[in-house]
């Protein structure tokens, strides 16, 4: 019995043992399988992760390459902004530049105005144009035509001579029997406030000293102020009567001194109710003053009026200046400037001890001349003294830098006299010379209306296209340097001193300004930030809001051009 129980127990242990072995084997295999499965999963995950990383890396690289490609493409189509304009305002290609200019011209205040504009490269590729062939009043842009023609036809070194003649030399006592003649040929620089040559400024005193050196002590006859070298009106066709009392509308004469004008300076007294002090410079009694201007109480509003008659030299001054006021000064043109110059010369002679016993008389080219004019090429005259003007290049510089009207008008008449028809008045002959020269350089002059040399006439009509053609032509001529050097420089000098200051256009834009009532213009040269030299002409007519606004548009356009960094090789 016991043996049987032992056998049964051993069988049970055996079965249990087999069961445990089976279970442990299964468990081991299961753990190993699980481990292998887990490892496979990790490896799979790792492989997937590697693929994702690789994909991500590739994506990042592709994105970077795409950005680089986009940036590269951007550089091909656009250009980086320069210092002139903010990044948001910088035109990045030619189309944007043109759009920006159109936007400026589309301002509401310009809606009723007439605007002509043309911008080209030096080889003629058009950057922008609008109404470029429309006839417009150029104002002082007319001076570009006069000065360019003068340089081309007369040369940069051309000078103008002023002479003192007599019909005989002084006798042993130093007396000249008969008249002496102060003969002008249109030198605008004698005594001019724009003249930086001390000899020319003191020209009459220099001539007087030459007469002393020639042995002259007295003149038995008259002093003839001869302005007959030029023929025609002393005023330009189309000038307004309200201009001609001021220095910018001064009468034109072959015998000119002190810009044919005087300074009228007014200062208050120290006592309210008393008359103000009025002084005229230079003063030889030629200009008379009627003083009706009084000194008012301190800090009251000043009021000054000045009027010179159209056919006299009587100047009426009225109004009031308060005590302590710094004073008022103005330049007033003189009527019959040759006589004015004659009286100044007579005084210069007196100061060196030469007495002229007779009067100052004027000889002109008209049939109404009281005195017969001399002809140095025909008459047997003795030249006792002479003085030469500064070179033409310097006279042109004054014309363009300071927009000096009288200089321009005298150069126009000099062109007429030297190169034009003797059958025409000097100014008309000069206009014909300018037009013939323009035609020779490729400008269609048939539609142009040129009536003076300064642009003061409201009847001048030119186009932006004609002006850019002139500028392009002069840029490749031997006389390019004196011509371009005569133009005002933005932010630096002349009539552009206070414009475009501290911008990329400053010390870059070289251009002639123009201003008459309701008209402004600006034409010249500018170099873009991309290195392209351009010519441009902007003419704005019938603009009533005020010249400061139209000038602002001109300046904005110049700034856009100066700041433009793209190359314009393909401008259309």
Which of the residues are catalytic?
A: 140, 143, 403
**How many DSSP H helices and E strands does the chain contain?**
12, 19
State whether residue 426 is helix, strand or coil.
helix
* Residue 79 near residue 530 (C-beta atoms within 8 A): yes
- Name the nearest CA neighbour of 81 among 564, 506, 533, 568: 564
| Distance from the Cα of residue 244 to its chain's centroid | 24
Distance from C-alpha of 547 to C-alpha of 249, rounded to nearest angstrom = 20
- Name the nearest CA neighbour of 454 among 261, 247, 311, 264: 247
For residue 372, give every residue at least 6 positions away whose Cβ sits within 8 Å of its Cβ, in sequence order, or none: 363
Distance from C-alpha of 152 to C-alpha of 158, rounded to nearest angstrom = 11
Phi and psi, residue 334, nearest 5°: -100, 145
Q: Strand 114-121 vs strand 533-541: parallel, antiparallel, or unpaired?
A: antiparallel
Nearest-Å Rg of the Cα atoms of the chain is 42
Q: Cα dist. 459→114, 138, 429, 462, 511 in Å?
A: 16, 10, 17, 10, 23
Kind plus residue range of the DSSP H or E element containing 44: helix 2-77
For residue 490, give every residue at least 6 positions away whose Cβ sits within 8 Å of its Cβ, in sequence order, or none: 496, 499, 500, 501, 503, 505, 506, 507, 508, 509, 510, 511, 558
State whether residue 519 is helix, strand or coil.
strand
Q: Strand 175-176 vs strand 218-219: parallel, antiparallel, or unpaired?
A: parallel
* Residue 105 near residue 91 (C-beta atoms within 8 A): no
Query: How crowded is the C-beta side of 261, counted as CA atoms within 13 Å?
Result: 28
Distance from C-alpha of 537 to C-alpha of 523, rounded to nearest angstrom = 4
From the number of C-beta atoms within 10 Å of its C-beta (0-12, 13-18, 19+), residue 479 rates as: middle
Q: What is the dihedral of CA 105, 109, 111, 113, to 10 degrees?
A: -90
Dig out the tokens for 398 from the structure: 């004054």
* DSSP result, 430-468: HHHHHHHHHHHTT---SS-B---SSS--TT-BB-HHHHH
């Amino acid at each position: 019995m016991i043996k049987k129980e032992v056998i049964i127990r051993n069988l049970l242990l055996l079965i249990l043992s087999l069961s445990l072995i089976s279970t442990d084997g299964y468990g081991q295999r299961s753990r190993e399988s699980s481990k292998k499965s887990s490892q496979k999963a990790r490896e799979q995950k790792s492989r997937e992760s590697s693929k994702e990383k690789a994909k991500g890396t590739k994506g990042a690289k592709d994105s970077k390459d795409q950005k680089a490609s986009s940036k590269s493409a951007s550089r091909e189509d656009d250009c980086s902004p320069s210092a002139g304009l903010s990044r948001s305002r910088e035109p990045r290609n030619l189309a944007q530049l043109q759009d920006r200019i159109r936007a400026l011209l589309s301002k509401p205040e310009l809606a009723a105005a007439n605007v002509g504009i043309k911008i080209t490269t030096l080889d003629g590729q058009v950057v922008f144009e609008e109404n470029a062939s429309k006839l417009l009043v150029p104002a002082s842009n007319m001076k570009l035509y006069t000065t360019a023609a003068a340089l081309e036809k007369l040369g940069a070194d051309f000078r103008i001579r002023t002479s003192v003649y007599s019909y005989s030399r002084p006798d042993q006592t130093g007396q000249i029997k008969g008249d002496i003649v102060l003969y002008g040929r249109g030198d605008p620089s004698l005594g001019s406030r724009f003249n930086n040559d001390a000899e020319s400024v003191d020209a009459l005193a220099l001539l007087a000293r030459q007469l002393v050196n020639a042995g002259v002590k007295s003149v038995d006859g008259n002093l003839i102020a001869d302005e007959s070298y030029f023929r025609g009106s002393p005023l330009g066709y189309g000038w307004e009567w309200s201009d001609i009392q001021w220095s910018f509308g001064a009468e034109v004469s072959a015998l000119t001194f002190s810009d044919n004008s005087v300074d009228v300076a007014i200062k208050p007294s120290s006592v309210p109710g008393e008359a103000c002090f009025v002084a005229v410079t230079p003063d030889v009694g030629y200009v008379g003053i009627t003083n009706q201007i009084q000194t008012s109480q301190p800090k009251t509003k000043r009021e000054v009026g000045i009027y010179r008659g159209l056919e006299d030299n009587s100047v009426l001054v009225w109004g009031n200046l308060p005590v302590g006021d710094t004073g008022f000064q103005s330049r007033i043109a003189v009527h019959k400037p040759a006589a004015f110059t004659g009286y100044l010369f007579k005084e210069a002679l007196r100061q060196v001890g030469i007495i002229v016993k007779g009067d100052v008389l004027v000889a002109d080219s008209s049939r109404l001349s009281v005195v017969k004019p001399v002809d140095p090429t025909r008459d047997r005259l003795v030249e006792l003294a002479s003085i030469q003007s500064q070179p033409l290049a310097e006279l042109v510089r004054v014309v363009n830098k300071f927009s000096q009207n009288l200089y321009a008008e005298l150069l126009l008449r000099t062109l007429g006299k030297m190169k034009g028809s003797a059958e025409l008045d000097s100014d008309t002959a000069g206009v014909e010379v300018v037009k013939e020269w323009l035609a020779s350089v490729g400008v269609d002059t048939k539609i142009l209306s040129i009536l003076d040399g300064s642009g003061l006439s409201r009847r001048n009509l030119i186009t932006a296209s004609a002006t850019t053609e002139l500028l392009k032509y002069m840029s490749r001529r031997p006389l390019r340097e004196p011509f371009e050097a005569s133009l005002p420089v933005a932010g630096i000098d002349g009539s552009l001193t206070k414009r475009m200051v501290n911008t990329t256009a400053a010390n870059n834009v070289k251009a002639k300004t123009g201003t008459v009532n309701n008209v402004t213009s600006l034409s010249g040269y500018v170099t873009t930030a991309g290195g392209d030299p351009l010519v441009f002409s902007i003419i704005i007519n019938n603009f009533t809001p005020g010249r400061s606004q139209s000038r602002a548009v001109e300046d904005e356009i110049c700034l856009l051009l100066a700041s433009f960094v793209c190359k314009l090789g393909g401008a259309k």
